[in-house]
């Protein structure tokens, strides 16, 4: 591994980050916007809940697979050209979702959208790491992370609003909206994104699979993969079951769940950038450690809640949204410093695949632990909370062992 070289400069760093965040926003929104369309899709397409679940899972499964596949070629092309090509294919796949005549066609289109969307997520983080110096990367990752917050705020209500407003096209309307929005960002990206080719100048040894294996088996990379996997386990054992637990055990209404997501997403829109700035100023490991420790409080409260006043639930859920995903801001900034620039795309694609697979595994493990009583209440959610905290403790320990590419320097020592 070679030592990191100075990242290329862009004319306007803020415009670059906003463009990248816009691309991130549209492909995350494409996933989020499916959730509120469930009742309408089940009614119009004459499908059951299992088939609708397959529509959702097909996106994440192909995203994980495509990220793994992308690791074989992502470092062989100019980042800009690859981004614009994959984003165009994502737009076409989303358009096919809106035009799908039946369930089978929609399922195939969703799988394709997930395949291209999964690669976009890895490529966005790679480009940020290529362009933004490590000293300012926490703030940059915070800006990009606001795309997740905005999609959380907009996804559920926007899907319902568009589907109900444009009754002639119904559930297809949200997909057409994403196509228009993404096409706008594609044009902006075509004008503003810089050519990133420095990684192409490095000599490569062996065939593509040997190179992939070399990146995957690097000890410092394995440490980073374990770190990311545990972060996902520490969140996604709990997150998917929050709505059902709050409605079944705490007595909240389904409409209140929308309020929770709106408030949580709105709060993280601001706090993600704040956490990023603090990471750059005070050290990424230090801020990660404090945010991770603080996140244990809403994690344990959420998994032990009993019927209480709605405003207490809202305060806790908002803190959950701020702190649990907030760990990813300094976490991803540290992880981005682990690979050498010439293999960063391959590494980040593998990271993306690890994220998808570990989040799916976390959901599966929690699902095996959680049970429902005859009355519909959730049991053993508290055990899931303890597992999430245990994984969180391990992330704090592993974080201090992340190392900068080609050196014995710990990422923590680099700030």
pLDDT in tens, 135-176: 777 777 777 777 776 776 666 667 667 777 777 788 888 899
Rounded to the nearest angstrom, the gap between the alpha carbon of residue 246 and the centroid of all alpha carbons in its chain is 24
Q: Name every residue whose Cβ is closer than 8 Å to that of residue 347 and which is 6 or more positions away in sequence.
A: 71, 215, 221, 224, 338, 339
Residue % of the chain over a pLDDT of 70 = 87
Residue bearing the bigger pLDDT, 132 or 35: 132
Domain coordinates of the chain in residue numbers? 10-195, 208-415
Q: At what angle do helices 137-165 and 328-335 cross, to 10 degrees?
A: 130
pLDDT in tens, 221-232: 999 999 999 999
For the 10-195 domain, the top CATH level (class) is: mainly alpha
Identify the pLDDT of residue 4.
45
Label the pairing between strands 371-372 and 378-379: antiparallel
pTM: 0.75
Residue bearing the bigger pLDDT, 2 or 132: 132
Lowest mean pLDDT among 49-53, 282-286, 367-371, 399-403: 49-53
- How many whole angstroms separate alpha carbon 204 and alpha carbon 377? 56
Q: Is the pLDDT of residue 245 over 90?
A: no
Q: At the topology level of CATH, where does 208-415 sit?
A: Growth Hormone; Chain: A; (1.20.1250)
Confidence band, pLDDT 50/70/90 cuts, at residue 10: low
- How many whole angstroms separate alpha carbon 269 and alpha carbon 8? 28
pLDDT in tens, 263-293: 887 888 788 888 888 988 888 889 999 999 9
Identify the pLDDT of residue 1.
39
The answer to whether the CB of 381 falls within 8 A of the CB of 250 is no
Q: What is the mean pLDDT of the chain?
A: 82
């Amino acid at each position: 591994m070679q030592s990191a070289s100075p990242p290329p400069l862009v004319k306007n760093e803020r415009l670059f980050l906003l463009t990248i965040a816009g691309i991130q926003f549209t492909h995350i929104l494409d996933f989020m916007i499916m959730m509120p369309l469930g009742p309408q899709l089940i009614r119009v397409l004459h499908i059951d809940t299992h088939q609708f679940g397959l529509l959702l899972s097909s996106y994440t499964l192909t995203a994980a697979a495509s990220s793994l596949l992308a690791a074989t070629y992502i470092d062989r092309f100019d980042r800009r050209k690859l981004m614009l090509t994959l984003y165009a294919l994502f737009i076409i796949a989303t358009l096919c979702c809106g035009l799908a005549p039946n369930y089978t066609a929609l399922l195939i289109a969703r799988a394709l959208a997930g395949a291209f969307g999964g690669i976009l997520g890895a490529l966005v983080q790679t480009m940020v790491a290529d362009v933004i110096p490590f000293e300012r990367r926490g703030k940059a990752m915070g800006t990009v992370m606001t795309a997740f917050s905005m999609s959380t705020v907009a996804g559920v209500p926007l899907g319902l609003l568009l589907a109900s407003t444009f009754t002639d096209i119904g559930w297809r309307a949200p997909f057409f909206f994403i196509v228009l929005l993404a096409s706008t960002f594609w044009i902006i990206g075509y004008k503003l994104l810089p050519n990133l080719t420095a990684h192409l100048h490095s000599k490569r040894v062996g065939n593509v699979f040997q190179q992939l294996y070399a990146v995957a088996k690097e000890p410092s990379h394995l440490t980073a993969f374990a770190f990311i996997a545990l972060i996902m386990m520490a969140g996604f054992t709990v997150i998917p079951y929050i709505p059902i637990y709050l409605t079944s055990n705490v007595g909240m209404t389904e409409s209140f769940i929308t309020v929770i997501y709106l408030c949580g997403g709105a709060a993280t829109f601001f706090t993600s950038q704040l956490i990023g700035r603090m990471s750059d100023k005070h050290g990424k490991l230090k801020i990660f450690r404090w945010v991770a420790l603080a996140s244990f409080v809403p994690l344990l409260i959420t998994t032990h809640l009993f019927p209480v006043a709605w405003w207490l639930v809202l305060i806790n859920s908002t803190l959950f949204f701020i702190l649990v995903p907030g760990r990813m801001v300094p976490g991803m900034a540290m992880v981005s410093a682990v690979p050498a620039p010439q293999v960063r795309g391959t590494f980040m694609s593998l990271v993306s695949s690890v994220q998808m697979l570990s989040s799916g595994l976390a959901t599966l493990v929690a699902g095996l632990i959680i049970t429902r009583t005859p009355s519909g209440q959730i049991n053993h959610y508290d055990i899931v909370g303890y597992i999430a905290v245990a994984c969180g403790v391990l992330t704090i320990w592993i974080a201090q062992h992340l190392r900068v590419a080609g050196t014995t320097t710990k990422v923590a020592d680099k700030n």
